[in-house]
Structure 1
Amino acid sequence: FVQSEKFAEKSGFLPEKSNIYFKLYQYYKQTGDYKHALKYFDLHVNAKDSIFNLNAAKQIEELEIQYHTAQKELEITKLETTNELNQKEISFRKRERNIATIGFLILAVLLLLLYRLFTMVKKQKKVLDGQNKELEKLNGIQNQIFSIISHDFRSITSSYLASAKIIEHYLNKGQPEKLLPIASEIGKNSKNLSSMLENLLQWAVLKRRGFEPGKNMISVKESINQVAGLLKDQFEAKNNTLIINAADEKVFCDPESLSIILRNIMANANKFTQHGNITIDVRSENNYGYIKITDTGTGMTQEAMNTLFQPGKDKTRQGTAGEKGTGIGLLLVTEHLKENLGEIKVSSESGKGTCFEIKLPNTTQ
């Protein structure tokens, strides 16, 4: 036991020392030497405490390492999050600048077009000074165009600005998934603006330098199919079915004029029809071709029909899906029909649909 005690004193391995002291304690306890038994029991307890303290210190050290590691990871995460937010903000600012730039460019183009249109009207007034009746009609048309376009353009630009603020709000909130409806609204406004500018450009071409139709014998069915292809998405969006009843009928007309006429009348039928049918019937009779476009839409009142082709009358109506129009489309139709010696008439009843019938020569005589 003396050797065991010496070994325990020399040993630096605390568990071994604790075990030796405990055995010495047991031995002296059994022999009745309680003094030595108490001594070795105290040494055993001290060794145990030292083991516990070492373990505790080791655990504390490990916890400190884990804590510092977690802190570093948290700081890295914060930096990554901050960087991501900064990138999103930069991206948003860039998009915002792009939207503003596009808006200013569109405004500049529109102002230029309006200025040219205004200049063209002034020149026509000088040339047609003696034709007061025609001038009054032209002024009425001009006022209608200016009024409708300025109102619609203000609405669209206001919508763009509002959309930009909403986009900024949701990006700052970290909710990019809520931007889809806004993107859809911007797309809708862009389509409306594109249609408005297209009609305005066509109207400007007609009035600025005059229109010289290049007339040919052209297939009505082919022209209808071409326009139907262009308007396919619009028909599908409103679940409307297009029915074409045409054979080999031809008309003597400018191809671009017929395309503009068909596009405006077919788009108009789709505008006021939802989940319905748009039927096109073509026939020939007495040296004329007749194109009848009938829809099952909302129709119109007798009062609306009476002013439908009168220049200067505000006859714009919202479609079944809230579509807006400028009224320029029907003006284009009547002008192109006049240039091609054609006619148009309309029949309708409120709530029961509308029928437009176009009449064009089908001979070169």
Structure 2
Amino acid sequence: MKADISVNETLRELERITEAQRRIITIIAQDVRNPLASIVSLFQLYQHNGIDPDRFNNFLHVSSTQLHSTMALLENLVLWGNIQLQPQHPDPELICLKDVVDGVFTELTVQASMKENRLINQTSQLVKLCMDENILRFILRNLLTNANKFTEKGRVTVDGFNYEKKVIFRVTDTGVGMPVRMCERLFLSKEKYSCRGTQNEWGSGLGLILIKEFVEQANGSITVQSTEGQGSSFIIELPL
């Protein structure tokens, strides 16, 4: 009986890893290959005198922005892939939310300063979470990167607190905001909803879908509140 249970668990784990590998390949094929292919095509046109230098310089600026965004997507994909290929049930860690936020802020300091945005951590030192720190960092890194993407000369704030038997934390920005229709469709996996940032930064919309998966796996929820021209707030609730 125990042998049968062990075999079934092994098969389930292999299926989970195979599915994760399949998704990684799909993401590389769609969200990484396409922008890189367009940049390669641009240089091929230039090498064969298929585009004049002035137009090439204009396209080169756009391609540079696209390349930075693709690199960010690759970093995200590597982090997500590492998490997916870990054992399914690692020992949970009791971690301080404020400390993790500070760590992610440090990583994003240069990006925020380039857009003259202030990063503000208003999370209580008392807020603790029992979860994989890599998953929490993935969630925060994506939400904060998005907030910075759509904000310029403004503020990006994280606050967290305990409420009843939950930990609630919010990532709020003073950026461009979103229409109601976009908020309603933001987390739909079949139609990744993305638009350009304040400096024409490109994005795939993939990060939010992966965040939703992680949050739901932890028996939590994620919602968004937004007003066009005033900013957005992403609220995550997790079991205490």
TM-score for both structures, normalised by structure 1: 0.52
Shift of 1:282: 1.2
Q: 2:237 and 2:178 mapped to 1: Cα distance? A: 22
Cα-to-partner distance string for 1:289-331 (whole Å, 9 max, x where unaligned): 1111111111111111111111111301110111111222112
Q: 1:244 to 1:120 in 2, by over 3 A?
A: same
Q: 1:247 and 1:165 mapped to 2: Cα distance? A: 59
Q: 1:259 to 1:274 in 2, by over 3 A?
A: same
Q: Higher Cα Rg: structure 1 or 2?
A: 1
Unmatched tracts of structure 2, length 5 or more: 1-16
Q: 1:145 to 1:342 in 2, by over 3 A?
A: farther
Q: Which residue of 1 aligns with 2:181?
A: 303
Q: 1:291 to 1:148 in 2, by over 3 A?
A: same
Q: Within the alignment, does 1:224 sit opposite 2:101 as a pair?
A: yes
Q: Which residue of 1 aligns with 2:190?
A: 312
Q: Is the 8 A contact 2:174 2:232 kept in 1?
A: yes
Q: Which residue of 2 aligns with 1:346?
A: 224
Q: Which residue of 1 aligns with 2:37?
A: 154
Q: Which residue of 2 aligns with 1:196?
A: 73
Shift of 1:337: 1.4
Q: Is the 8 A contact 2:149 2:197 kept in 1?
A: yes
Larger helix fraction of residues = 1
Q: Which residue of 2 aligns with 1:88?
A: none
| Count of matched residue pairs | 217
Q: What pairs up with 1:30-109 in 2 under 5 angstroms?
A: none
Larger strand fraction of residues = 2
Q: 2:41 and 2:93 mapped to 1: Cα distance? A: 45
SS state at 2:208 partner = helix
Q: 1:339 to 1:261 in 2, by over 3 A?
A: same
Q: Is the 8 A contact 2:35 2:66 kept in 1?
A: no
Q: 2:226 and 2:63 mapped to 1: Cα distance? A: 34
Unmatched tracts of structure 1, length 5 or more: 1-118, 125-137, 171-178
Q: Is the 8 A contact 1:200 1:328 kept in 2?
A: no
Partner amino acid, structure 2, of 1:245: Q
**Identity fraction in percent:** 29
Q: What pairs up with 1:16-27 in 2 under 5 angstroms?
A: none
Q: Which residue of 1 aligns with 2:213?
A: 335
Question: Pairwise CA RMSD of aligned residues?
Answer: 3.4
Q: 1:162 to 1:299 in 2, by over 3 A?
A: farther
Q: Is the 8 A contact 1:246 1:282 kept in 2?
A: yes
From 225, 237, 258, give the equivalent of 2:114. 237
Q: 1:195 to 1:331 in 2, by over 3 A?
A: same
Q: Which moved more, 1:203-212 or 1:220-229?
A: 203-212
> Which structure carries more relative contact order (alpha carbon 8 Å, separation 6+)?
2
